[in-house]
Amino acid sequence: MSPTNSDALLYKTLKDYFGYEAFRHLQKEIITSLLNGKDNLVIMPTGGGKSICYQLPALLLPGLTLVISPLIALMKDQVDALNANGISAAYVNSSQSDRENRDILDRVQQGSIKLLYLAPESLSFFEQLTQITSISLIAIDEAHCISSWGHDFRPAYTQLSFLKKQLPNTPLVALTATADKATREDIVQQLNIVEAQQNISSFNRANLSLEVRPGQERVKQLLDFLKSKPNESGIVYCLSRKQTEQLAERLQKNGYAAAAYHAGLPSQERSKIQEDFIHDTTPIICATVAFGMGIDKSNVRWIVHYNLPKNIEGYYQEIGRAGRDGLDAETLLFYSYADVVQLRKFAENSGNQEVQMAKLDRMLQYAEATHCRRNILLNYFGEPATDSCGNCDVCNHPPTLFDGTIIAQKILSGIYRLQENEPLHVLIDFLRGSQNAQILDKNYQELKTYGVAKDIAWKDLQHYCIQLLNQGFFEIAFHQNNSLKLNELSKEVLFNGHKVELSKPVEINKVAPTEVQKTSNPDNNLFERLRALRLELATAKGVPAYIVFNDATLRNIANERPITDEDFLAINGVGKQKLEDYGYDFISEIIRFNKDKAVRIKPTKPIKKIKKTPYWLLTKHINKACLPKKLPKIVA
């Protein structure tokens, strides 16, 4: 095959089966390399499009593609998605009966399955497979599970080294979103693919917006945040189980379909909650960090951290669960001084105290950032980044910095006057001249500097104190009731005129009410109508809504409004199978929508006659019953 021919074949397969017009970054290179028999290591962020890298070659290679995947839920999702695209795929694992597994192996033997998913624990099937079929490609998904360096280590993954030994000529591709070097080395060593072509794409998830806000009136802020996102799916991560339950209840009372999820719930209940989330029946989950691993839901549109996470790794993994379909998704983190105190306590009680503390400090620096947050994240993961991203709150609303030396001096002398014996809230009350019991009982009103900052609001003063703390101008003795302590740098400010720069507190954004109106009325909004249709079709088939079409494709349909088969197939994300299965229903809904609109909108200008062939003559799928009796009125 000439290079142009093979290129054309790749694009045709991409469109026919997956519905996409173009490859994403690195996909084509990886696919071509695998088709040429080379081993590959693929590092791509979540949502980068790893699956197609082995699923497309599987369609072009003669035999079976074997996919090793760690979780049954992930396998099921992938197999559902492949079947929906008209690709024969199946999995064998311990959740199925022997009979079911045997039936699948029979189908493999007949050559009617192109991709077979297998858990690393089920490799006993491997011998059988090599006897009944030829394996053309092996893909190892979530390959970081092989490494005890990183998170999610799975002992069964370490047994995979025999694959390359037994099938040395079969190309093997290892895929993961975990980029660190130690894990990478481990993967290629353990899988015996040291010569593998390495494809490392940026760790950046440009479609995720990043925002951090002070954690005051969080429930109110959260409700405001949700107003602009009716029906959209998201996760609120909380620190405690109790908090997940309380918050879910508050959201329910405010009309949101929300549920709590934590490790203390019975496993059956947890599975049900997870299932309802995946199927969009319960679009909002308030969860502890246990939630999300093994969920491949592509249309999670937002993530909120109700509390400060304990490290950047966890935070990045959690926000990474949003926007896997590549569409914009929002992330919002609340943090407060109380979170820091609690997390410090956790860290102190952990086995690895120093490392945990250092990681928490990095998390705090992120929360308090005065320059691009994305750069901080990327640099943390070893990817040099300096350009402002334009999609984080700091880039969009750069903080106003001012000379805060005098405020800093007041705060630090307050700590000194209280003899370094009091925690932050007492210091703030003291500086603001409060007359509460904690002040009066100890006669603090008699001390110098009492009330020197009474012109500054409580919250603002707290904001300045935390900034000073994070810049190292004083410390907290967590072992001594969180009392505040001065250090060398404090003395520089107090006695040597060392300048301190502080940032002004940011006003919390308010949601524009018009925006809410616009998106929440499904009658006026084709996207919402198509979304409801998608849910109906998905429920009838027993698959998650995003298996029918992901949000990106649904948006394309809503924007393009196709009313012929050709136009429907031309949508990015619609392949042949999906045209066959869903074209009729979606086109009918668009026609109904056009009709409703034509009736409702009174034309202000004369109506133009359509000269083109009426659209229903172009489309074989249209249901006669749903056609308008007359030509719809087209508003010029």
Among the listed residues 279, 310, 324, 531, the single contact to ligand ADP using CB under 6 A: 324
Minimum distance from CB of 392 to Zn ion (Å)? 3
Nearer to Zn ion, 211 or 339 (CB): 211
Task: Using the structure block, give the residue that is written with the tokens 């660190």.
Answer: 180
Helix (H) or strand (E) holding 331: strand 329-335
Interacting partner of 533 out of Zn ion, ligand ADP, none (Cβ under 5 to 8 A depending on kind): none
Among the listed residues 10, 17, 23, 529, the single contact to ligand ADP using CB under 6 A: 23
What are the φ and ψ backbone dihedral angles of 204, each rounded to 5 degrees? -70, 135
Q: How far is CA 594 from the centre of its chain?
A: 34
Burial of residue 479 (number of CB atoms within 10 Å: 0-12, 13-18, 19+) = exposed
The two structure tokens encoding residue 191: 């899988």
144 binds ligand ADP, rule: CB under 6 A:
no
The two structure tokens encoding residue 534: 């998608």
Buried residues in 571-591 as b, exposed as e (16+ CB within 10 A): bbbbbebbbeebbbbbbbbbb
Closest-CA residue to 10 (of 33, 39, 40, 44):
33
44 binds ligand ADP, rule: CB under 6 A:
yes
| Residue 522, helix vs strand vs coil | helix
**Contact stretch for Zn ion (CB under 5 A) within 160-168, 389-397, 486-494, 499-507:** 389-397
**Any idea what the Cα angle at residue 553 is, between residues 523 and 290, rounded to 5°?**
95
395 binds Zn ion, rule: CB under 5 A:
yes
Distances (CA, A) of 411 to 420, 432, 433, 478: 12, 10, 13, 19
Nearer to ligand ADP, 50 or 373 (CB): 50
**Contact stretch for ligand ADP (CB under 6 A) within 319-327, 524-532, 555-563, 579-587:** 319-327
Among the listed residues 294, 326, 451, 522, the single contact to ligand ADP using CB under 6 A: 326
Minimum distance from CB of 95 to ligand ADP (Å)? 22
20 binds ligand ADP, rule: CB under 6 A:
yes
| Total site size for ligand ADP, rule CB under 6 A | 18
Minimum distance from CB of 81 to ligand ADP (Å)? 8
**Contact stretch for ligand ADP (CB under 6 A) within 106-114, 193-201, 323-331, 612-620:** 323-331
Nearer to ligand ADP, 129 or 557 (CB): 557
CA distance 39 to 283: 40
Minimum distance from CB of 363 to Zn ion (Å)? 17
Helix (H) or strand (E) holding 278: helix 267-278
CA distance 214 to 227: 19
452 binds Zn ion, rule: CB under 5 A:
no
**Contact stretch for ligand ADP (CB under 6 A) within 43-51, 119-127, 330-338, 513-521:** 43-51
CA distance 354 to 348: 8
The two structure tokens encoding residue 441: 């009982």
Among the listed residues 244, 298, 375, 409, the single contact to ligand ADP using CB under 6 A: 298
Interacting partner of 44 out of Zn ion, ligand ADP, none (Cβ under 5 to 8 A depending on kind): ligand ADP
Burial of residue 406 (number of CB atoms within 10 Å: 0-12, 13-18, 19+) = exposed
Whether the Cβ atoms of residue 409 and residue 422 lie closer than 8 Å to each other: no
24 binds ligand ADP, rule: CB under 6 A:
yes
Interacting partner of 325 out of Zn ion, ligand ADP, none (Cβ under 5 to 8 A depending on kind): ligand ADP
Among the listed residues 15, 47, 312, 533, the single contact to ligand ADP using CB under 6 A: 47
Q: How many CB atoms lie within 10 A of CB 507?
A: 7
599 contacts: CB under 8 Å, gap ≥ 6: 633
Nearer to Zn ion, 387 or 488 (CB): 387
Residues 526-585 that bind ligand ADP (CB under 6 A): 550
Interacting partner of 395 out of ligand ADP, Zn ion, none (Cβ under 5 to 8 A depending on kind): Zn ion
Minimum distance from CB of 325 to ligand ADP (Å)? 4
Nearer to Zn ion, 141 or 211 (CB): 211
Among the listed residues 211, 325, 422, 565, the single contact to ligand ADP using CB under 6 A: 325
Nearer to ligand ADP, 388 or 572 (CB): 572
Minimum distance from CB of 302 to Zn ion (Å)? 18
Among the listed residues 51, 133, 556, 594, the single contact to ligand ADP using CB under 6 A: 51
389 binds Zn ion, rule: CB under 5 A:
yes
**Any idea what the Cα angle at residue 419 is, between residues 417 and 423, rounded to 5°?**
100
Q: Helices 50-60 & 27-35, crossing angle to 10 degrees?
A: 30
CA distance 376 to 395: 12
Closest-CA residue to 287 (of 619, 3, 300):
300
Bridge-based pairing of strands 475-477 and 483-485 is antiparallel
Minimum distance from CB of 141 to ligand ADP (Å)? 8
CA distance 211 to 509: 11
Minimum distance from CB of 482 to ligand ADP (Å)? 41
374 binds Zn ion, rule: CB under 5 A:
yes
57 binds ligand ADP, rule: CB under 6 A:
no
Among the listed residues 10, 284, 392, 466, the single contact to Zn ion using CB under 5 A: 392
**Contact stretch for ligand ADP (CB under 6 A) within 49-57, 267-275, 409-417, 537-545:** 49-57
How many residues are listed for the chain in this entry?
636
Q: How far is CA 317 from the centre of its chain?
A: 8
372 binds Zn ion, rule: CB under 5 A:
yes
631 contacts: CB under 8 Å, gap ≥ 6: 610, 614
| Total site size for Zn ion, rule CB under 5 A | 5
Among the listed residues 28, 49, 226, 237, the single contact to ligand ADP using CB under 6 A: 49
Residues that bind ligand ADP (CB under 6 A): 20, 22-24, 27, 44, 46-52, 298, 324-326, 550
Residues lying near Zn ion in the complex (CB under 5 A) are found at: 372, 374, 389, 392, 395
